[in-house]
Homo-oligomer: A and B are copies of this chain.
Amino acid sequence: MSQASQPVLIDGRWTPSAGREAFTAVNPATRKPLSDAYPVSSWSEIEQALKAADRAFQASRGWPGERFARFLERYADLIDARADRLVASAHQETGLPVDPRLKNVELPRTSNQLRQAAAAAREGSWALPTIDTKQNIRSMLAPIGPVAVFGPNNFPFAFNSIAGGDFAAAVAAGNPVIAKGHSSHPGTTKLFAEAAQEAATETEMPPGFVQLIYRTSHDDGARLISHPLIGASGYTGARSAGLFLKQMADAVGKPIYLELSSINPVVILPAALSERADKIAEEFTGSCLMGAGQFCTNPGLVLMLAGPATEEFIAGVTKRFEAAPVGTLLGAGVERSLTEGIKQLREAGAKLLTGDKPGDGERFSRANTLLRVDGATFIRDPHRLQTEAFGNASQMIVAKDIEELKAVLACLEGNLTGCVYSDTSGKDDSTYDQIAPALRQKVGRLLNDKMPTGVAVSPAMNHGGPFPATGHPGFTAVGIPAAIRRFAVLQCYDAVRPNRLPPQLRNQSPSNKLWRLIDGQWSTGDIPA
């Protein structure tokens, strides 16, 4: 029992935790613990949260999307109103720059994402209402039940367990959320949860619709996501913990949506280098070192064909890496795993171009690191040479010819993104045609002439990809409406009497904005009686 630790948010109330252990966050800029202690929740209070979430689900099932939209919008407004406190807290807990990152990019993105989710909940088309008038069979997606969200360390706002993408998607579908905050930024998460609870109260959501715990034991985390009262889970983070949770959830048929490691290959074709090597080197360096490289879409692998232009490019990037400021890493764990990842890559045959040494000052950091390996070496040990070095590090692969480049691509694991840079006059086109199909198959998002680190909140976005980037290649964690559909079940009504149907499936549509697939055609209209 940690008297001094912060309360948890369970069943609509901030409650002292029954957990016996507590932890503090650490300021990455100083390596010093911050003052507030946060509890490791006991199983008994996790179970209380589960029961409260189930009650909230039973109370809110069948509510029109409007109700969830109002909550999300009020919450977004409260976040914007408290931007300064959120930014200050996140800066202290993560070391990420205030401006532009936290204040002018990530925070507005977060509240806007909540508003987009609200708009989708209100419109309702995300649920793909489908009506067969001749056979009187009707179906749509419906909320799956309480969703547990495990947020990552690297986006204290946009992927925060109680404010980020999974949260917004789960709520837009109509589900209560049990947020498991990330231990690296509990104070920021607490500020969000306070705003979420206020918004929930003001908009008359049932108690327990939004709940927050800060940490659980490994085993209690697994019990949570595989509990009978859980509908589904979202997890963004390290591969090992994610795969453990996936195994536990899979065993009992509970959907879990994972976003795990990704090294995001970037292929730079020869004529593009001839045309604009400096520009690409600049873009790459910016993308790779921004936020100390702590992005799930950080370009961790650059693939090129051997030649003088490639050598020149590598030399240019190396210089830029040496000259660029070294970012602060999120924490001791990130610093340790980055160091370890680089060590693994070097042991597997990658040569050091620059970096792989401690950073500067008190803060968590590691020198900007660039490695290189030839295609043949990569192909001999592709598994180890795809070790993720999460942070300000990347690896250049130089293939001797197109065939070897294709062989390298064939060895790649699933990734979130893949980029190809080619020249603008068409000299690279035939090479593009040879390599793009292989890359396409390995990644969720294919980019041209653009680095992967920007993940727009767009209906057409795919922030997903083949295993092990995620757990299922058909789903995206970013992008509305698709991301919402992860947290839903398909419910069919066969000959159900008209007055018992959900409004979205009745002949008369509840709104002229709602898209429905009626006898194979999308329509916003009513069905004639």
Partner of A491, one of B446, B447, B495: B446
Complex partner residue of A250 from B246, B462, B489, B521, CB under 8 angstroms: B246
Residues of A near any B CB (own CB < 8 A): 58, 61-62, 130-132, 135, 137-139, 141, 144-145, 246-247, 250-255, 414, 417, 432, 436-437, 440-441, 444-450, 456, 458-462, 464, 466-468, 470-476, 479, 482, 485-486, 488-497, 500, 515, 517, 519-522
> Separation in Å of the A259 CB from the closest CB of chain B?
12
- Residues in B whose Cβ lies below 8 Å from that of A456: 132, 135, 137, 494
Please judge, given known A-B contacts A474-B255, A520-B459, whether A446 and B246 are in contact too, CB under 8 Å. no
In the assembled complex, 17 residue pairs joining A and B whose CB atoms fall closer than 8 Å, in A order, are A130-B459, A132-B456, A132-B458, A132-B460, A135-B456, A135-B458, A254-B467, A444-B489, A445-B493, A447-B494, A448-B495, A448-B497, A460-B492, A462-B490, A462-B491, A464-B490, A474-B486
Q: How far is the CA of A124 from the CA of B132 in the complex (A)?
A: 19
CB <8 Å contact, B436 and A495: no
A287 CB to closest chain B CB, in angstroms? Answer: 13
Q: Are B61 and A458 in contact (CB under 8 A)?
A: no
User: Are B130 and A482 touching (Cβ within 8 A)?
Assistant: yes
Are B464 and A500 in contact, CB atoms less than 8 angstroms apart?
no
CA of A489 to CA of B250 in the docked complex: distance in angstroms? 20
Contact between B522 and A468 (Cβ–Cβ < 8 Å)?
Answer: no
Chain B positions within 8 Å of A474 at CB level: 141, 144, 255, 485-486, 488-490
- Residue of B468, B479, B495 near A447 (CB, 8 A) is B495
Assembly CA distance A497 to B433 (angstroms): 12
Known: A132-B460, A462-B491, A473-B490. 9 other contacts (CB 8 A): A132-B458, A247-B250, A253-B471, A432-B500, A440-B491, A445-B493, A462-B492, A474-B488, A474-B490
Report the Cα distance A468→B253, complex, angstroms.
7
The answer to whether A482 and B491 touch (CB under 8 A), given A246-B250, A446-B496, is no
Q: Is the Cβ of A517 less than 8 Å from the Cβ of B137? A: no
CB distance from A136 to the nearest CB of B (A): 9
Bound Cα distance A11, B137 (Å) = 40
A139 touches B490 (CB 8 A): no
Asked if residues A467 and B252 are in contact (CB atoms below 8 Å), the reply is: yes
Chain B residues with CB below 8 A from A470, complex form:
253
